[in-house]
Structure 1
Amino acid sequence: MVDGMARSRSRSPRRQDRPALACVLFGGPASGKTSLGDRLQARLPGFCHISCGDLARLVTEHQGSPLLRNIAKQLADRRRRKVAFARLVAVVTGVIANGLSSTAGIGGIIVNGLRPGDLPAFQIAVGVKCMALIKLDCPKEVMLARLKSREQREGDARLGLGDMDDARRVDAYLEREAAETEILGAEAALRTFFALDTTAPIEDVAAEALRRLSAFAESLGAAGQEAQRAMLLEQVPAIDWPDQISRTAAALDREFHPDGKPRQSP
């Protein structure tokens, strides 16, 4: 059921001007992913900053789709939440792919909120070749202090995050951190991986990230020339994410029953 949705939403976009470079940020809760993403987009105006968490909250807010309502219902049930999250990730990936494929002029993307295990399907769906994976290192006490000072974001309850206190969220990340880091560090062509200390001033972190991104693009030779040009682009059009969610949901409702089962056999 989930595999069928993932395959459906992970087809490469039907266009030539795919993003030349994807900068994907990983880290624990309140490790600074959104802050760094915002700083990088300010310095790379030809890039689109995408928060998978924000998109997931918007998806669960959408009430016009039977399939999305079914996912939201599953998310509210702890026993079914794992399956629901997998379905939600497939939908969010499809929304991102559709948004990028329908918007001309985007040179690259900055993404936060992905899990390392979701990278292969995401890369296929978006059609990007060059990827920079950045892990944000942040001590447990710093993450906890930042979470304590931050108000709960609208939509967290729909994702089931209201059932976990801050300490449990951070501990859950730390328990899987080593395994996720191993996935991120696996060798692959046209890809780089590096870690940044996000206890440093955010402007310094962004400057170091940009330095590493530029060095990565230069190291690729001819394959990295497009990525280098993308880093020099001017402002790109904004993507209307609510509209893309509606379009993606409508397509999924035509292809799948609310529970995710295909309406027709392949």
Structure 2
Amino acid sequence: MSTELRTEPRLVTLEGGEGAGKTTVLAALRAMLEAAGERVVCTREPGGTPLAERIRALLLDTGHEPPAATTELLLMFAARAQHVQATIAPALAGGAWVLSDRFTDASHAYQGAARGGDRGLIHLLEQRVVGITPGLTLLLDVPVEVGLARARGRGGVDRIEAEDAAFFERVRAGYLERAVAEPERFRLVDASRPADEVAAEALARLSAYRGSLA
């Protein structure tokens, strides 16, 4: 595979830390696109295919030994490789919009910035295993204490949600670093506001983006 990332204009990703409200926003974006007559595929990471969902279960399970940082990174990219090949690429080839709750930026933030993983390896995996990048990424940014209160208020936490606040501060910093580095792709959304306000801004961002593609 080429080492150059190919931008997929109809691939839109939602990124952000725990409790940012990505699920709510994704549903609003889907409704808007479908109302405009577009075909939409909604998916998530890790996951998005039966095999990738099994990898997700392994990654998030608190009942077995915690994976080493490199193990976690490689499992994330194994799931992502399957996700791209089996779900995302066919949907895009068929003319659909793909809305994904997280994509490769999550590995830069979680396995890179937060875990201190090898940034060079992450970039290499992104180039050689994934090969594509979204046309638009909405970064739902929320203060860590607010996001964690929301996430933990839902009841039950997975292995990653159980990390301490310092871990999630590094995640947030990693995401913001990505947004600064790629301003043409990222749109920052203040997700500390009520859900309807966050969704309204996300819809406006997507609408403007679609207009730019015309």
SS of residue paired to 2:156: coil
Give the CA deviation at 1:29: 0.8
CA positional deviation for 1:110: 1.6
Asked whether the 8 Å contact 1:48–1:108 carries over to 2, the reply is yes
Task: Measure, in 2, the Cα distance between the counterparts of 1:122 and 1:133.
Answer: 18
Partner of 1:199: 192
Fraction of identical pairs, as percent: 22
Q: Distance in 1 between the 2:137 and 2:60 partners?
A: 30
Structure 1 counterpart of 2:152, from 129, 148, 155: 148
Match of 1:215 among 199, 208, 212: 208
Contact in 2 for aligned 1:25/1:111 (Cα 8 Å)? yes
How much has 1:52 moved relative to structure 2? 0.3
Once the two structures are superposed, residues 75-98 of structure 1 have per-residue CA deviations (whole angstroms, 9 ceiling, x without a partner) of 9433x4212211212222122212
Change in CA separation of 1:134 and 1:173 when aligned onto 2, cut-off 3 Å = same
TM-score, normalising length: structure 1: 0.56
Superimposed CA distance per residue, residues 213-233 of structure 1 (whole angstroms, 9 cap, x where no aligned partner): 2323434xxxx23xxxxxxxx
| Separation in 1, partners of 2:56, 2:14 | 25
The answer on 1:186 being equivalent to 2:181 is yes
3-state SS, counterpart of residue 77 of structure 1: coil
Amino acid at match of 2:80: T
Whether contact under 8 Å (1:137, 1:197) holds in the other structure is yes
CA distance in 1, matches of 2:148, 2:182: 32
Q: Does 1:109 align with 2:98?
A: yes
Distance 1:61 1:193 in 2: 25
CA distance in 1, matches of 2:190, 2:76: 28
Q: Conserved in 2, the CA contact under 8 Å of 1:26 and 1:135?
A: yes
Cα displacement (A) at 1:106: 4.5
Cα RMSD between the aligned structures? 3.9
1:126 to 1:36, Cα distance in 2 relative to 1, 3 A: farther
Corresponding residue SS for 1:177 = helix
Distance change (3 Å), C-alpha of 1:72 and 1:215? closer
Q: Deviations over 1:48-73 (max 9, x none)?
A: 222104548722378xxxxxx8x899
> Which of 59, 77, 81 pairs up with 1:90?
77
**Larger Rg belongs to:** 1
Report the 3-state secondary structure (helix = DSSP H, G, I; strand = E; otherwise coil) of the residue aligned with 1:152: coil
1:171 and 2:176 matched? no
Instruction: Determine if the alignment matches structure 1 residue 58 to structure 2 residue 53.
Output: yes
- CA shift, 1:172, in A, is 0.8
AA in 1 matched with 2:147: M
Give the deviation of 1:124 after TM superposition.
7.3
Unpaired runs of 5+ residues, structure 1, are: 1-6, 63-68, 226-266
**Richer in strand (by share):** 2
Residue correspondence of structure 1 range 1-266 to structure 2 within 5 A:
20-45=9-34, 46-55=39-48, 58-60=53-55, 76-78=64-66, 80-98=67-85, 99-103=87-91, 105-114=94-103, 115=106, 117=108, 121=126, 125=130, 127=132, 131-152=135-156, 156=158, 160-161=159-160, 164=162, 168=164, 170-187=165-182, 191-219=184-212, 224-225=213-214
Superposition TM-score, scaled by structure 2 size: 0.68
